[in-house]
A = this chain, B = another copy of it.
Amino acid sequence: MVTKANLRAQVTDGIVEAVLDELADVGFGRLSMDGVARRARAGKAALYRRWPSKQEMVLDVVTGLSVPMAATTPSGDLTADVATLVAGVDDWLTDARMSRILPDLLAEAMRNPDLATALTDRLGAARRGYGQAVIDAAIARGEVSSDVDSEYVLDLIAAPVFWRLCGRREHTGTAFLDRVVDSVLHALGVSGR
């Protein structure tokens, strides 16, 4: 799993930092290549060398940061794996920039079908793949029924954390995350801790 510390070490790229800062401050709708270039003290040509468009720039930067934060390798301990997945969502959305960027992209996606498809395919599917691997491993071990509703389980891993942090702007914490894990285990058809 990528920890917060080595995640930060990866983001030493000034342009990537500028994209994230600008996106958190003004949102996708008002973000411009000019604004990012100004913030990065770079030329617009430097941006266009890396990305053909604003949408591609945003998707590349946001998925590059977000997908590794969901990375989990099934350990053989389902409760521990679910806790890792839920903690991964919490780490992601307690990040000061990401807690503003994700709700903004979701709002934008409701009006922009092209962005919506790209978010689903490149961000959502990639992050959910790690959760699916945990479920599949538990099915293979015979701990979870093969007719489990994986889609619902994967929703439950993310939804309460998103809602608490970005829908209600309230805090999570150990007791809350434990409750989410318990809900996910119940949805998996196994008893909680």
When all copies of this chain in the complex are counted, the total is 2
For A128, the closest partner residue in chain B by CB is B168
Give the contact stretch, choosing among A43-51, A59-67, A137-145, A179-187. A179-187
Q: Would B183 and A155 count as touching, CB distance under 8 A?
A: no
Contact with B along A99-137 (1 / 0, CB 8 A): 110011011011100001000100010000000000000
Contact with B along A152-172 (1 / 0, CB 8 A): 100110111011101111100
**Count of chain A residues with a beta carbon within 8 Å of a chain B beta carbon:** 39
Q: Would A30 and B27 count as touching, CB distance under 8 A?
A: no
Contacts of A162 in B (CB 8 A): 159, 162-163, 167
Q: Would B124 and A168 count as touching, CB distance under 8 A?
A: yes
Q: Of B152, B179, B186, B187, which is within 8 A of A149 by CB?
A: B179
